Amino acid sequence: MERTYVMIKPDGVQRNLVGEIISRFEKKGFKIAGLKMLQLDRAMAEKHYKEHIGKPFFEALAAYITSGPVVAMVLEGKDVVSTARAMNGATNPANSGAGTIRGDYAIEVGRNVIHGSDSVESAAREIGIYFTEKELCEYQMVLDRWIYE
Ligand code: DAT
Ligand code: MG
């Protein structure tokens, strides 16, 4: 089963969207393998967004992502990397469809509420930034046979 890293950004926490967002992934059928709240410091922001260091928006992005607590989670399921990205919606909420998290809850690219890994490789790297192996739970969900054929 595939795993991805999803993070509710500081605006999502401040806007009381934590329960709503987690609920969407639960209802979809994905399994929560890890979950925690933390606040990123500058070093973690640079680690997380290393491919964006030096871009014009990086300083604003780093200030935003470190501005308050985030909710970090690891989700598990079939094709969860691409499906969670689709559920999050396009990077710029102006282009995110209705029914996606960003489409429903965000307006500007610099306050787009949620992060999701963009590939299986990024997911493994990002999960490693936020979680130790011991913090990830392996368990059976009794509903799995009603979600997977
Ligand atoms: P995503 O979060 O969809 O993976 P990304 O990795 O390209 O998007 O960028 C990371 C974050 O940086 C994104 O969620 C919002 C911000 N960002 C990206 N492009 C931007 C831009 N052109 N102007 C301002 N912020 C931007
Ligand atoms: Mg990205």
pLDDT tens track for 51-73? 999 999 999 999 999 999 999 99
Q: pLDDT tens digit string along 95-125?
A: 999 999 999 999 999 999 999 999 999 999 9
The predicted model scores a pTM of: 0.98
> What residue has token string 């306050």?
111
DSSP-assigned letters across all residues of 104-143 = HH--SGGG--EEE-SSHHHHHHHHHHH--GGGS-----TT
Nearest CA to ligand 1 atom 5: 91
Residues paired with 4 in a beta bridge: 75
Q: Say which residues have a Cβ less than 8 Å from residue 119's Cβ, sequence separation at least 6.
A: 81
Measured CA to CA in angstroms, residue 93 lies from 46, 99, 107 at distances of 23, 12, 5
Output the CA 116–ligand 2 centroid distance in Å.
7
Ligand nearest to the CA of 122: 2
